[in-house]
Amino acid sequence: MDAHLGDGCWFSGLVLRRSDGSTVGVVTRSHSDLETAIYGESMALSDAIDFVEKLQLKSVIFELDSQVVVNAVRSKASIRKP
């Protein structure tokens, strides 16, 4: 999953794959009114969690490129939607 700022909006996207690398699904979403990359990356994670819950999947590994968000999750800090 990842987030990208473009045209004044944050866009989040994710590719869900099986352990063999085959694709399960792809999701993209736009988010307005997000101020920083941390919010964008956090929303990408939130979207990924929502997608995984919708599909009722278990044993999922999330890959993120935002060390700040990774550290927040590891420390069990609250990540709230703005």
The model's pTM is 0.74
Q: Return the pLDDT at 36.
A: 79
Q: For the residues of 27-80, what is the DSSP string, one character each?
A: EEEEE-S--SHHHHHHHHHHHHHHHHHHTT--S-----S-HHHHHHHHTT----
Instruction: State the average pLDDT over residues 8-28.
Output: 86
Q: Return the pLDDT at 63.
A: 85
Confidence at 40, pLDDT banded by 50, 70, 90 = confident
- pLDDT of 81 higher than 60: no
Tell me the average pLDDT of the chain. 83
CA distance 75 to 57: 23
User: Which amino acid, one-letter code, is at 1?
Assistant: M
